[in-house]
Amino acid sequence: MKTKKMIYYVVMVALGVGLIGCSKKGTKEISVLIRMMPAQERFLREQLLPVFEKENNCKVNIATFNSEWDIERILKLESSKKNPSIALVKTPFEMTRLLVKKGMVQDLYSVMDSNQVLQDIAEYHQLASGLGFFEGKPYYIPRKLETRVLFYRKSKVAEAVSKFKDHRTRIDSELKEQNGYGLPVGYELESDPAKWDFYDLYTVGSIWANEEYNGVKMGRVAHRGARYGGTALFLVDRALQLGASANDICKLTEDKTVEMFVWERVFVRNGIYNQGMWQDPWKGANIYNGIKDGKVFAAYFQQIDAFLVHGWKDDPSMPSFLPDPDDMGLVTVPQAVSFELTKEGAPVFEGNRSISTGGWWWGIPKTSPDAKLAYALARFITSRENQAKECSRFGMIPVRKDILNNLPEVFDQGWVGEIFKTSVGQVQTNALTTVPLVAAYAEMSQNLIDAWYALCVEYKEASDEPMNFSTLKMRLASDYLEKQKKILGDEFPE
């Protein structure tokens, strides 16, 4: 009897182990490749994925990349594996065409029935869904739209306006040496940043840089300065504002593109920018800390930056970077004008307030271990309920029609509503403006950043070669144009 009981026990244990093994084997396991702020990644990991895993009897792991240029390398590595794991990739707009042209992502018609795909895609705003199409086929499911706005400290702008008369003569003299005239004719500093142009931002920046705060004088205007896509995007946006076309940016030495470098050189040379931008160098989180430490009073922000800097009062994981969260101001970007003035003191030309609209999309790699599950995950994350939660918490510009068409019903007013109002207003101003739609955009971006560092940040002026428009154009042509042509190849515009 004891022997029979023992045999029975061993058999049952074996069956149990077998059942457990079958259960584990039956659980599908995939990975999603992302880059997110820590708080946003926690939200995905703790709030969204557990629900999806339970509903789909699966396990979703998170893999991360540091730079968008890492995506191609990681997917190449996946293709060499016997059992690739990455099923879904959070893809920035700048990389979407490159990945398609290199055959790394699959069109959605190859994953699901085309009628179902079109029905699903119809739920998203046409701009967001349209930017995911290539040669008539959808390759991406929209995640969020993105653009930049101007962040500023309300109290510091008010201080600068009140002190303008004390700095006017100095600023006028400083500029006269560089543009031949000084401040534009009849110039007065606007107290409302919504009415600013480039000269207004320069003026408040000059006042802040020449006033002591916490016993220190420094530049207190910032944008991203690290050698990555965020910095290139600012440079492209500024060129677009000045009137450069996508082809002008690709050509590199066209006048409106050169003018972008002129303004950047002026801001760097005259100490308007905080030097940490290129010395550290700065990404988004560095700018947040600069705001916290009183080193930055104005910066170019994405809407998620504004949420993270403002913070949530009742959430210790998202503290404010501001001494007073109510001191945060947001407006659409300043009006572009030429640095050069006519002999009468007016800008030689005016640009606009239109910059690029981009964002992030979900793409399914050709090597995805379960493309249908990946599609379901992308749709789950961008469902109305989940996107409303994520957007209201992190300031993402939504892509779903049923949210965009009912913003007041979905999001609180107050500071949350102000972020969405300003960001959506900027998107509307941008219309269909995007970065150059070339497959080699990422590599071209690196060339732009290299030129910015060499000509705007590091260049040491000589008495016989001041870094003005003519010199910048000549240097861009001699040092960077051939590389630009090599990068773009057949895509270089003639």
- Three-state secondary structure call for residue 33: strand
Q: Which of 101-105, 258-262, 424-428 is least confident?
A: 424-428
pLDDT for res 464: 66
Q: What is the β-pairing status of strands 221-222 and 358-363? A: unpaired
Q: What is the β-pairing status of strands 298-302 and 133-134? A: unpaired
Mark whether 81 and 219 lie in a shared domain: no
Q: How remote is the C-alpha of 134 from its chain's centroid?
A: 22
> 403-456, pLDDT tens digit by residue?
888 776 666 667 888 888 898 899 889 988 999 988 889 899 999 999 999 999
pLDDT for res 12: 43
Mark whether 115 and 264 lie in a shared domain: no
Q: Which of 17-21, 85-89, 92-96, 340-344 is least confident?
A: 17-21
Q: Name the domain boundary from 394, 411, 428.
A: 411
**Mean pLDDT over residues 308-314, rounded?**
87
Residue 9 has pLDDT above 50, yes or no: no
Q: What is the pLDDT of the chain when averaged over all its residues? A: 91
149: which strand partners? Answer: 301
Would 432 be classed as within a structural domain?
no
- Three-state secondary structure call for residue 360: strand
Contact 222/208 with Cβ under 8 angstroms? no
**Mean pLDDT over residues 284-294, rounded?**
97
Mark whether 311 and 394 lie in a shared domain: no
**Mean pLDDT over residues 279-287, rounded?**
95
**Mean pLDDT over residues 320-340, rounded?**
97
Mark whether 249 and 112 lie in a shared domain: no
Mark whether 86 and 198 lie in a shared domain: no
Would 12 be classed as within a structural domain?
no
Residue 22 has pLDDT above 50, yes or no: no
CATH code assigned at 137? 3.40.190.10
Would 250 be classed as within a structural domain?
yes
Of residues 317 and 246, more confidence is placed in: 246
Would 19 be classed as within a structural domain?
no
Pick from 293, 298, 274: which is nearest to 219 by CA? 274
Q: Which of 103-117, 182-196, 311-325, 330-344 is least confident?
A: 311-325
> 195-217, pLDDT tens digit by residue?
999 999 999 999 999 999 999 99
**Mean pLDDT over residues 314-322, rounded?**
86
pLDDT for res 471: 94
Distance between CA atoms of 126 and 147, rounded to whole angstroms?
16
Mark whether 59 and 109 lie in a shared domain: yes
Residue 236 has pLDDT above 90, yes or no: yes
**Mean pLDDT over residues 266-289, rounded?**
96
Mark whether 469 and 377 lie in a shared domain: no
Contact 433/147 with Cβ under 8 angstroms? no
Contact 84/55 with Cβ under 8 angstroms? no
- For the chain, helix, strand, coil in percent to 5 are 55, 15, 30
Q: Name the domain boundary from 368, 395, 411.
A: 411
Would 11 be classed as within a structural domain?
no
Residue 6 has pLDDT above 60, yes or no: no
Would 92 be classed as within a structural domain?
yes
pLDDT for res 412: 64
Detail the DSSP E strand segments found in 156-232: 221-222
> 375-400, pLDDT tens digit by residue?
999 999 999 999 998 887 887 888 99
pLDDT for res 37: 84
**What's the structural domain count of the chain?**
2
Q: Which of 22-36, 176-190, 467-481 is least confident?
A: 22-36
DSSP 298-319: EEEEEHHHHHHHH--TT-TTS-
Residue 249 has pLDDT above 90, yes or no: yes
Would 426 be classed as within a structural domain?
no
240 vs 216, 256, 425, CA distance in Å?
35, 8, 17
pLDDT for res 24: 46
> 36-90, pLDDT tens digit by residue?
988 899 999 999 999 999 999 999 999 999 888 899 999 999 999 999 999 999 9
For residue 256, give both structure tokens: 């409106």
Contact 309/328 with Cβ under 8 angstroms? yes
Would you give the end-to-end CA distance of the chain in angstroms? 92
Q: Which of 107-116, 237-246, 312-321 is least confident?
A: 312-321
Q: What is the span of the domain harbouring residue 386?
A: 28-147+358-411
Mark whether 365 and 473 lie in a shared domain: no
Would 422 be classed as within a structural domain?
no
Pick from 482, 124, 148: which is nearest to 334 by CA? 148
Mark whether 390 and 324 lie in a shared domain: no
Mark whether 471 and 378 lie in a shared domain: no
pTM here is: 0.82
Cα three-residue angle 98-103-105, rounded to 5 degrees: 80
Mark whether 296 and 367 lie in a shared domain: no
Residue 23 has pLDDT above 60, yes or no: no
Mark whether 249 and 200 lie in a shared domain: yes
> Is there a cis peptide before residue 369, judged by omega within 30 degrees of 0?
no
